[in-house]
Amino acid sequence: MELIDYLVLMAYVVGVLAIGSFFGKQVKSSKDMFSAGGRSPWWVSGLSGFMTMFSAGTFVVWGGIAYKYGIVAMAINMCYGIAGLLVGFFVAGRWRKMGVQTPAEYIQLRFGKAAINLYTWTMIVYRMVGVAVALYSLAVILTALMPLGEGHFLRNETTGNLSLVWAILFFGTFMIVYTMSGGLWSVLMADVLQFIVLNLAVIFVVPLCFMHLGGLSNFAASVPEGFFRPVTSEYTWFFLAGWCMIHFFMVGAEWAFVQRFLCVPTATDARKSAWMFGVLYLISPWLWLLPPMLYRGIDPAANPEQAYILACQTVLPAGMLGMMLAAMVSATASMVSAQLNVFASVLTSDFYHGFFRPHATESHLVSVGRLMTVLLGIVIIVLAILVPAMGGAQDVIITVTSLLVGPLLAPSIWGLFSRKINQKSVWLVAMICFGLGIFVEFGLTAGGWFSNLAGFESIGRLIQEMNPRTRQMAIGVALPIILLVLQEFLNRRVSRGWDVIAQKVTDEIGAVAPVTSPLPALVVSCSLLYFGILMVFIAFINPEEWKVIAIFFGILFVLSGLLFGVYLRKTRQPVGREET
């Protein structure tokens, strides 16, 4: 990276922190901090949900798979789009009608206090590991681009670059600070901003990579056989079907996504938000997974985890690489901060406020929420440093997601529609699936706890001969659904939690919906203008590339003007009642 790239990166970080500081002044209550007061526009919620799934882990994990296997990485990521559309049709609107402030409140009302403990601590462990992988992935990208001189205290002497640990510490701290300052509003705004900047930057990387390779025919000739098939021996059609189901459970019930459905004014807005998420994930993988695929033709011996950023480094002019890296930092920040915010909200609203200080003032709860954000952030930083010891980013993400999401989140969605699913059903599904998953993955696989014990050899061999992804889908997707169907037939009584939630829904339908805030359009407009001006300076530094960069800042200026028009139109509308 050149000096201009570092300056652009610093300018981006300063801009994001400024957004957090601005919205920190808007936070007057715990509802403002954790659900944006229910006033987020649907398009902000949809883009934020999209970016919540997005992080540097996207570039490291899925970019690595795209580099190694090709089109299969796009097929896997398009499963998110199918899941998002299904959530929009069946689930998102129901969440908004629940009349709850947090998804944890729904769990407590629907399944009882014991269930909230299971969900909270299991989800915290699961998502903290996932977020740690994202932070680790960002550090991998940063260290690949930042060489340091000999004797520098931040240098890794083996690679000669920035130390992985220092990269994790520095950017982990940045993410904690901006999440703590502005709450969910700052998370939403940073998500929208980096969605625009990141995707515009990728639009330029793809044609430049094709030009570097000499065209499509040269690219096709330079990659291995099967590179353009949607499945491989490991990632089968059965895996893709299971991955769709897992992410239907995740987008439909995972707390960070449910928060996006709760922070909009109406049920219709919630459905639009989920549909936007789905459409974007059907289209966008064809754009942002092409660079690592194309880089396979440029350098077939590269580190797959670094393929994405190396492709950018190869073709982007000075300053543009800094913008791309800044967007990756912000993408990871959005994912990290989304999880920090949702779990800080649970620990503050549902545990601290619910069990220890039921009469605490709103200002006190905001302070406690910020403290919880810091503590959770420290846990994430420690886990990120330990990711290499856990087997690397790709295996950690796919295995943990496959085995935990279905058993934990399927009962939540089922409980939105079924009168019979109760607390016992939640515990039964979780314990059977978790127990079997641990027994199989850690006990019977090669080198497992029981693989060499008498009586386990034959079943161990059978397990080891199975495709590991097929095995994980059977335990993490098929088994929870089978158990829930059985519970539906075996349970005779209507769950008490169903009646409680039904009353909540009735109260919510009769309530006046909040009015959408015009501030997001104004903040994003100003932010795009800020980064457009930054790109003008980059154009002066790269006179030979000024036409490419001019297109970039021209688009930013146009988007800024359009959003400012949205802001003006919104501020002139009379305040009224919106449908729920």
**What pLDDT is attached to residue 576?**
47
The C-alpha atoms of residue 133 and residue 271 are separated, in whole angstroms, by 30
* Tokens found for residue 271: 């459905």
What does the longest C-alpha to C-alpha distance in the chain come to? 77
Question: Could you tell me how far CA 78 lies from the centroid of its own chain?
Answer: 15
DSSP secondary structure string, 378-437?
Answer: HHHHHHHHHGGGGT-HHHHHHHHHHHHHHHHHHHHHHHHH-SS--HHHHHHHHHHHHHHH
Hey, which CATH number is domain 3-354+362-572, 3.90.1150.10, 1.20.1560.10, 1.20.1730.10, 3.40.50.300?
Answer: 1.20.1730.10
The C-alpha atoms of residue 499 and residue 20 are separated, in whole angstroms, by 40
* 484 band by pLDDT with thresholds 50, 70 and 90: very high
Eight-class DSSP state of 545: G
Domains of the chain, residue spans? 3-354+362-572
Percentage with pLDDT > 70 across the chain: 77
The C-alpha atoms of residue 192 and residue 48 are separated, in whole angstroms, by 6
Predicted confidence (pLDDT) at residue 579 exceeds the cutoff of 50:
no
122-158: pLDDT as tens digits: 877 777 777 787 788 777 777 777 777 777 777 777 6
Average pLDDT over residues 449-474: 71
37-78: pLDDT as tens digits: 556 677 777 777 777 776 666 777 788 888 988 899 899 999
* Tokens found for residue 161: 């670059």
Average pLDDT, the chain: 77
Q: Is 555 buried (19+), middle (13-18) or exposed (0-12) by CB count in 10 A?
A: middle
The C-alpha atoms of residue 235 and residue 258 are separated, in whole angstroms, by 28
392-446: pLDDT as tens digits: 555 556 677 777 788 888 898 898 888 888 888 889 998 998 888 887 777 766 6
270-285: pLDDT as tens digits: 899 899 999 989 988 8
- Nearest C-alpha neighbor of 191 from the set 288, 84, 334, 17: 334
The C-alpha atoms of residue 446 and residue 460 are separated, in whole angstroms, by 8
Query: Cβ–Cβ contacts within 10 Å for residue 424, how many?
Result: 15
* 452 band by pLDDT with thresholds 50, 70 and 90: low
CA angle centred on 59, ends 57 and 63, rounded to 5°: 120
Distance of CA 307 to CAs 54, 60, 208, 294, Å?
17, 8, 15, 9
Predicted confidence (pLDDT) at residue 533 exceeds the cutoff of 60:
yes
The C-alpha atoms of residue 533 and residue 395 are separated, in whole angstroms, by 41
Predicted confidence (pLDDT) at residue 27 exceeds the cutoff of 60:
no
Q: What backbone torsions phi and psi does residue 513 show, to the nearest 5 degrees?
A: -75, 145
The C-alpha atoms of residue 315 and residue 210 are separated, in whole angstroms, by 10
Q: Which residues contact 484 (CB under 8 A, 6 or more apart)?
A: 410, 411, 414, 421, 425, 429
**What pLDDT is attached to residue 577?**
43
Predicted confidence (pLDDT) at residue 86 exceeds the cutoff of 90:
yes
pTM, full prediction: 0.74
Check: CB of residue 59 under 8 Å from CB of residue 308: yes
Predicted confidence (pLDDT) at residue 456 exceeds the cutoff of 70:
no
Predicted confidence (pLDDT) at residue 209 exceeds the cutoff of 60:
yes
Check: CB of residue 578 under 8 Å from CB of residue 266: yes
Predicted confidence (pLDDT) at residue 510 exceeds the cutoff of 50:
no
